[in-house]
């Protein structure tokens, strides 16, 4: 570890939270062949830790442990599970500075944003601690007088949760919170780029009294770990956030053992600014929807559609706002744009920007790598983008705001829906009738009206079309981890 990395790690208030082993059956373990993977700080290239490069054997053991623990955990009362989750929530909150530091170190987002992720991520644990006590079944009026019909809701069983690097904590708590709340046990496979936050959170879960084996963490060889989870008949559910390509593989791989599947996949969010929008609200909302996490979220505005009458004014105002975004190491006060996760991410952004400019788009701001080097990219605005350009067809996952001019509401809806993705969409307008019309016409799972940041633990998050299956958060989010059982009690008058 370099001295810079050591100095950063020394800022942890509780150094015990820096774990560099996997968690299987409540024990911190190395990979069985001793191989490791490096975890790097994307802002500096420093190696922060080496974590075990695990594969099939370690995952098989984690599955056995989760399977054995399922019987005891699912039999605890809802109130007991709720208390453990609440304690976990309290521990996450009391360690929020440390968790945020780990997020910034391994993922790159600014510390303030990382703190926001910790609060957001913790909120799922709190919400599902409460929801654990509200998993009600039904009594159905019987079809004959000597019968009684019941619907029970029971935990689905062992869950494999595969998560990405862009929200190292929140993508885990959204899955593990509802799973543990209803009595499932879990094997988490965090991204190899960001395992340290996951391991720290798992350590806090153990401290909270969540029993050994209820929450396991393995990382390393993603396809091997994935195959082990998919092939096991003991794993009854796969929950995944990540790329559409990997999501499709996991869905296909789940077919053989007919697992329940929920997927949060890529988006291609349109952000539609109408002539009748409040300019300040539209700029603030678009800025937040586009540049949060340096554009690396699946709900980030990918295409900013701007009506002709407001195009120039909006482009100028957005440019002024984006010019002020300070780029740098997320640990530095005032920085609001961190690095991209890796070199491949920067190359993708470069490719999309070159494609757009070669087809007639103009660079209004930025448009190249940042002078800071590493994987920093300048916050960028492209003008006169059209639907044929790569930047409109696919997720750029970087700090690039493409502006697409349009004339009518019908045209905007058509452009917005002309994609296989359907996760988030945003509209900016002062008209209430238009807000309703356009919200209903958009083929998306989430719509923000005059708001650029809309995710919350109390509302259902998930996509339409190829953006995924199922919902996370809210009262709906727990259904993904429950199986319905119909019980018919007969011959009651015998």
Interface with ligand ADP (CB under 6 A): 162-165, 189, 191-192, 222-223, 226, 242-243, 246, 249
Q: How far is the CB of 241 from ligand ADP (least distance, A)?
A: 7
Question: Among residues 83 and 249, whose Cβ is nearest to ligand ADP?
Answer: 249
CB-based contacts of 198, cutoff 8 Å, min separation 6: 163, 168, 169, 172, 188, 190, 217, 219
Choice among 106, 126, 264, 457 that is catalytic: 264
Q: Are strands 27-29 and 22-24 parallel, antiparallel or unpaired?
A: antiparallel
Alpha helices by DSSP H, 212-360: 222-231, 244-254, 279-291, 308-323, 343-358
Question: Among residues 36 and 243, whose Cβ is nearest to ligand ADP?
Answer: 243
Burial class (CB in 10 A: 0-12, 13-18, 19+), 120: middle
Cβ distance 442 to 425 under 8 Å? yes
Element (H, E) at 477: helix 474-477
Q: Which long-range contacts (CB under 8 A, 24 or more apart) does 128-131 make?
A: 128/85, 128/177, 128/178, 128/180, 128/181, 128/477, 128/478, 129/82, 129/83, 129/85, 129/86, 129/88, 129/89, 129/177, 129/181, 130/82, 131/178, 131/181, 131/475, 131/478
**The two three-digit tokens of residue 18, written as one number:** 């820096």
Q: How far is the CB of 162 from ligand ADP (least distance, A)?
A: 5
Per the annotation, the verdict on 264 as an active-site residue is yes
Question: Among residues 222 and 363, whose Cβ is nearest to ligand ADP?
Answer: 222
Question: Among residues 99 and 246, whose Cβ is nearest to ligand ADP?
Answer: 246
Q: How far is the CB of 58 from ligand ADP (least distance, A)?
A: 14
Cβ distance 481 to 155 under 8 Å? yes
Q: How far is the CB of 71 from ligand ADP (least distance, A)?
A: 27
Question: Among residues 257 and 357, whose Cβ is nearest to ligand ADP?
Answer: 257
Question: Among residues 249 and 465, whose Cβ is nearest to ligand ADP?
Answer: 249
Q: Which residue is nearest to ligand ADP (CB)?
A: 226
Nearest CA to 391 out of 281, 290, 248, 285 is that of 290
Cβ distance 352 to 396 under 8 Å? yes
**440 backbone dihedrals φ, ψ, rounded to 5°:** -75, -30
Burial class (CB in 10 A: 0-12, 13-18, 19+), 458: exposed
Question: Among residues 191 and 429, whose Cβ is nearest to ligand ADP?
Answer: 191
Q: How far is the CB of 290 from ligand ADP (least distance, A)?
A: 18
Q: How far is the CB of 297 from ligand ADP (least distance, A)?
A: 10
Q: How far is the CB of 344 from ligand ADP (least distance, A)?
A: 9
Residues forming the active site: 264
């Amino acid at each position: 570890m370099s001295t810079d990395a050591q100095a950063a790690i020394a800022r942890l208030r509780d150094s015990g939270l820096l774990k560099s082993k996997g968690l299987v059956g409540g024990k911190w373990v190395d990979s069985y062949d001793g191989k490791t993977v490096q975890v790097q700080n994307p802002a500096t290239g420093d190696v922060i830790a080496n974590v075990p490069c695990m594969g099939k054997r370690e995952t098989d053991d984690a599955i056995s442990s989760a399977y054995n623990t399922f019987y005891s955990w699912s039999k605890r009362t809802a109130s007991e599970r709720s208390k453990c989750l609440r304690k976990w929530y309290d521990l996450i909150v009391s360690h929020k500075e440390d968790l945020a530091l780990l997020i910034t170190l391994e993922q790159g987002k600014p510390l303030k944003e990382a703190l926001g992720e910790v609060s957001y991520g913790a909120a799922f644990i709190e919400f599902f601690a409460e929801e654990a006590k509200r998993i009600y079944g039904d009594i159905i009026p019987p079809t004959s007088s000597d019968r009684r019909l019941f619907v029970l809701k029971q935990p689905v069983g062992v869950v494999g949760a595969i998560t990405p690097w862009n929200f190292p904590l929140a993508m885990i708590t959204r899955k593990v919170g509802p799973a543990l709340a209803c009595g499932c046990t879990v094997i988490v496979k965090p991204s190899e780029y960001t395992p340290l936050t996951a391991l720290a959170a798992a350590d806090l879960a153990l401290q909270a009294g969540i029993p050994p084996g209820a929450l396991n963490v393995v990382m390393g060889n993603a396809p091997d770990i994935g195959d082990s989870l998919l092939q096991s008949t003991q794993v009854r559910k796969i929950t995944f956030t990540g790329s559409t390509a990997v999501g499709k593989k996991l869905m296909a791989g789940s077919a053989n053992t007919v697992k329940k599947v929920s997927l949060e996949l890529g988006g291609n969010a349109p952000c539609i600014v109408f002539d009748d929008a409040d300019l300040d609200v539209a700029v603030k909302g678009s800025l937040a929807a586009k540049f949060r996490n340096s554009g690396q979220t699946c709900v980030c505005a990918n295409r900013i559609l701007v009506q002709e009458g407001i195009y120039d004014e909006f482009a100028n105002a957005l440019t002024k706002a984006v010019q002020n975004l300070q780029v740098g190491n997320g640990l530095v006060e005032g920085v609001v744009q961190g690095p991209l996760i890796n070199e491949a991410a920067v190359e993708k952004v470069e490719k999309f920007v070159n494609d757009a400019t070669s087809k007639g788009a103009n660079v209004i701001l930025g448009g190249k790598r940042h002078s800071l080097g590493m994987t920093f990219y300048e916050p960028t605005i492209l003008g006169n983008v059209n639907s044929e350009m790569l930047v409109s067809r696919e997720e750029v996952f970087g700090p690039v705001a493409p502006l697409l001019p349009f004339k009518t509401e019908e045209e905007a809806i058509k452009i917005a829906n002309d994609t296989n993705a359907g996760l988030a969409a945003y509209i900016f307008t002062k008209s209430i009738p238009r807000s309703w019309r356009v919200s209903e016409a958009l083929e998306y799972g989430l719509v923000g009206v005059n708001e650029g940041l809309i995710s919350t633990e109390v509302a259902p998050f998930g996509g339409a079309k190829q953006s995924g299956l199922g919902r996370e958060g809210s009262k709906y989010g727990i259904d993904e981890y429950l199986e319905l059982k119909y019980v018919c009690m007969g011959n009651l008058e015998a």
